[in-house]
């Protein structure tokens, strides 16, 4: 008997003949020439899991297809605090995994459910931070991956910010359309013989994700465009929503710009000009050039008010702090004038003076034009009367949207729930005034200043749809 090599054949009712191989210090399980577990499979999962940032703080994992348990080990190496629910239909594979292949230390946070994946996921409630699908029948990908209802169930189990990894082996094109109709494809990559795709829910910052029908970009608001873009005799509005644009000129140079998903109809104006069209979800348009230098490192976030109990979709942390603020008798939220708001804002010294002054100037400009649409919410200490935090929003009623403009907090209340109280007050204000969309503005993404990261993490607790714009289109016309 060779002490460094062994190859046992075990009959499995579900997977046929299984080869259980030990080669020096490595172990593998294969069905004919198809690996169920082993060094190749381990490296594949390790490679795939690196596509998921550790910032996701994965705690709840669903693994469909246990195999020999290699995926379990790699998940726990990358996310040590994860609890894994694994579904496996072959009892022989469960036995090999727990008794022979997977070390005991990796089984402490592993819950194995024996049964058919289709039936077992109906018993789960979720949500899961990560779902890893590695379902095979023998050497073939499971037909469940071709089922709309099954993929739809995965969507219901996946946390809103969660990740779905699917091992398609060599059949990815056959299943892509089903998954793409329900999920956003974050990336697809090849590991030797296996094609693996990473999916997210729509609205997680992937370019070209579809937008909710309730969302209208602020550049399609005549109220916004008149105040911000057309406050000079050198600019004027052109077109009508949903293809509203602006024409500007600097001496003999004319520029025309649009931000819309509707391709603008170019009207003759009697002079040559450069036309820039920022689409919201399109990456190709006939007759337009793509600007390769346009910035894709800007991401914004918005929330859609769909029901009275709007906080139900917030994170657990946000819901808890909302409740704490509502029960806290130390603070009161009220409307204040710009002078009081600006004075408290400058007192925080959070940003440099020039930036703070610029934000206040924007508010003052809007107040002069439409004072009824600017709302300055301040959190006051009931005992001292001091303003300790504030939030400024601007309403654009023609697109049913309220825009987060300035937020600040005094250092003395950083460890309280006042920030969540202000957001809750904003939601109530929107609900009272029939506003559907709450625009949180910029949300940090890779390539942005690190200083944005903290407040962006706070914003993302309110079930935001993240919009990341594709590269802009450019066209030149002579008339």
pLDDT tens profile 101-129? 788 888 999 999 999 999 999 999 879 99
**What is d(CA 137, CA 149) in angstroms, rounded to the nearest whole number?**
19
Check pLDDT > 90 for residue 405.
Answer: yes
Check pLDDT > 70 for residue 19.
Answer: no
Strands (E), 318-435: 331-335, 374-381, 387-396, 401-409
Strand (E) or helix (H) holding 260: none
More confident residue, 391 or 27: 391
Cα 195 to Cα 32, 73, 79, 168, 441: the distances in Å are 20, 21, 23, 6, 36
**Least-confidence region, from 22-31, 67-76, 173-182, 257-266:** 22-31
- So what's the pLDDT on residue 350? 82
Strand 437-442 versus strand 289-290 pairing type: unpaired
Output the average pLDDT for the chain: 90
- So what's the pLDDT on residue 181? 92
pLDDT, one tens digit per residue, over 361-379 is 999 999 999 999 999 999 9
Residues paired with 403 in a beta bridge = 394, 439
**What is d(CA 31, CA 37) in angstroms, rounded to the nearest whole number?**
10
Please report which confidence band the pLDDT of residue 230 belongs to, taking 50, 70 and 90 as the band edges. Answer: confident
Residues paired with 256 in a beta bridge = 247, 275
Strand (E) or helix (H) holding 369: helix 353-369
**What is d(CA 225, CA 340) in angstroms, rounded to the nearest whole number?**
28
**What is d(CA 91, CA 4) in angstroms, rounded to the nearest whole number?**
28
Check pLDDT > 60 for residue 1.
Answer: no
First to last CA, the chain: 87
Distance from the Cα of residue 381 to its chain's centroid: 35
Q: What is the number of other CB atoms lying within 10 angstroms of the CB of residue 143?
A: 11
Check pLDDT > 90 for residue 96.
Answer: no
**What is d(CA 255, CA 399) in angstroms, rounded to the nearest whole number?**
25
**What is d(CA 258, CA 277) in angstroms, rounded to the nearest whole number?**
5
CA-derived radius of gyration, the chain: 27
- Average pLDDT on 124-147 reads 88
Residues 6 or more apart from 233 whose CB is under 8 A from it? none
Task: Please report, rounded to a whole number, the percentage of residues in the chain having pLDDT higher than 90.
Answer: 70
pLDDT, one tens digit per residue, over 463-478 is 999 999 999 999 999 8
Check pLDDT > 60 for residue 2.
Answer: no
* C-beta of residue 31 within 8 angstroms of C-beta of residue 17: yes
Distance from the Cα of residue 9 to its chain's centroid: 46
Q: Where are the alpha helices (DSSP H) in 1-147?
A: 39-49, 70-78, 91-96, 117-120
* C-beta of residue 326 within 8 angstroms of C-beta of residue 315: no
**What is d(CA 302, CA 215) in angstroms, rounded to the nearest whole number?**
8
Check pLDDT > 80 for residue 62.
Answer: yes
Check pLDDT > 90 for residue 357.
Answer: yes
Check pLDDT > 80 for residue 22.
Answer: no
Sorted by where each starts, the structural domains of the chain and their CATH numbers stand as 5-200 (3.40.50.150), 306-435 (3.40.630.30)
Strands (E), 49-143: 60-64, 83-88, 110-114, 128-133, 136-137, 140-141
**What is d(CA 38, CA 22) in angstroms, rounded to the nearest whole number?**
10
**What is d(CA 156, CA 65) in angstroms, rounded to the nearest whole number?**
19
The number of residues making up the chain comes to: 479
DSSP secondary structure letter of residue 204: B
Strand (E) or helix (H) holding 314: none
Cα 224 to Cα 54, 221, 319: the distances in Å are 39, 5, 32
- Structure token digits, residue 366: 């809007």
Please report which confidence band the pLDDT of residue 232 belongs to, taking 50, 70 and 90 as the band edges. Answer: confident
Angle at Cα 317 formed by Cα 309 and Cα 441, nearest 5°? 75
Secondary structure class of 441 (helix, strand, coil): strand
* Residue 58 Ramachandran class (φ > 0 left, ψ -120 to 50 alpha, else beta): beta
- Structure token digits, residue 349: 């010294």
DSSP secondary structure letter of residue 318: H
More confident residue, 312 or 5: 312
More confident residue, 81 or 231: 81
Check pLDDT > 60 for residue 425.
Answer: yes
Check pLDDT > 70 for residue 428.
Answer: yes
**What is d(CA 406, CA 143) in angstroms, rounded to the nearest whole number?**
51
pLDDT, one tens digit per residue, over 233-286 is 889 999 999 999 999 988 888 999 999 999 999 988 888 999 999 999 999 999
Q: Is the peptide bond before 98 cis (omega within 30 degrees of 0)?
A: no
**What is d(CA 477, CA 269) in angstroms, rounded to the nearest whole number?**
10
- So what's the pLDDT on residue 8? 67
Global pTM value: 0.88
């Amino acid at each position: 008997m060779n002490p460094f090599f062994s190859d046992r054949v075990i009959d499995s009712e579900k997977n046929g003949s299984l080869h259980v191989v030990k080669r020096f210090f490595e172990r593998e399980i294969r069905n004919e020439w198809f690996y169920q577990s082993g060094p190749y499979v381990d490296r594949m999962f390790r490679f795939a899991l690196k596509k998921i940032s550790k910032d996701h703080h994965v705690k709840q994992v669903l693994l469909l297809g246990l195999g020999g348990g290699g995926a379990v080990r790699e998940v726990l190496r990358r996310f040590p605090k994860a609890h894994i629910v694994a579904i496996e239909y072959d009892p022989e594979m469960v036995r090999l995994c727990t008794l022979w292949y997977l070390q005991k230390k990796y089984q402490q946070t592993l819950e194995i459910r024996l049964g058919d994946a289709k039936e077992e996921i109906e018993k789960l409630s979720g949500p899961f931070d990560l779902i890893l699908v590695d379902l095979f029948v023998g050497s073939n990908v499971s037909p469940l991956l071709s089922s709309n209802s099954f993929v739809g169930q995965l969507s219901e189990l996946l946390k809103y910010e969660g990740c779905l990894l699917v091992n398609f082996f060599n059949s990815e094109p056959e299943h892509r359309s089903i998954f793409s109709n329900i999920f956003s494809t974050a990336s697809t990559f090849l590991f030797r013989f296996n094609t693996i795709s990473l999916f997210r829910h729509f609205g997680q910052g992937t370019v070209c994700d579809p937008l909710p029908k309730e969302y209208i970009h602020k550049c399609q608001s005549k109220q916004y465009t008149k105040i911000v873009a057309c406050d000079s005799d050198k600019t004027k509005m052109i077109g009508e929503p949903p293809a509203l644009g602006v024409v500007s000129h600097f001496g003999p140079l004319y520029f025309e710009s649009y931000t819309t998903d509707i391709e603008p109809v170019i009207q003759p104006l009697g002079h040559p000009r450069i036309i820039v069209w920022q689409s919201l979800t399109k990456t190709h348009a006939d007759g337009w050039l793509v600007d390769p230098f346009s910035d894709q490192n800007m991401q914004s976030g918005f929330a859609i008010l769909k029901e009275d109990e709007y906080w139900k979709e917030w994170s657990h942390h946000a819901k808890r702090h909302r409740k704490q603020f509502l029960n806290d008798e130390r603070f009161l939220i009220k409307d204040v004038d710009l002078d009081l708001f600006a004075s408290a804002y400058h007192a925080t010294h959070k940003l440099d003076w020039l930036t703070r002054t610029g934000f206040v100037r924007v508010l003052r400009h809007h107040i002069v034009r439409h004072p009824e649409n600017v709302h300055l919410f301040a959190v006051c200490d009931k005992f001292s009367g001091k303003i300790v935090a504030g939030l400024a929003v601007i309403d654009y009623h023609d697109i049913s949207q309220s825009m987060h403009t300035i937020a600040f907090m005094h250092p003395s209340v950083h460890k309280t729930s006042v920030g969540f109280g202000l957001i809750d007050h904003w939601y109530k204000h929107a609900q009272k005034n029939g506003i559907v969309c709450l625009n949180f503005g910029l949300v940090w993404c890779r390539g942005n200043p690190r200083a944005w990261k903290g407040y962006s993490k706070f914003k993302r607790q309110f079930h935001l749809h993240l919009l990341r714009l594709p590269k802009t289109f450019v066209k030149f016309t002579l008339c």
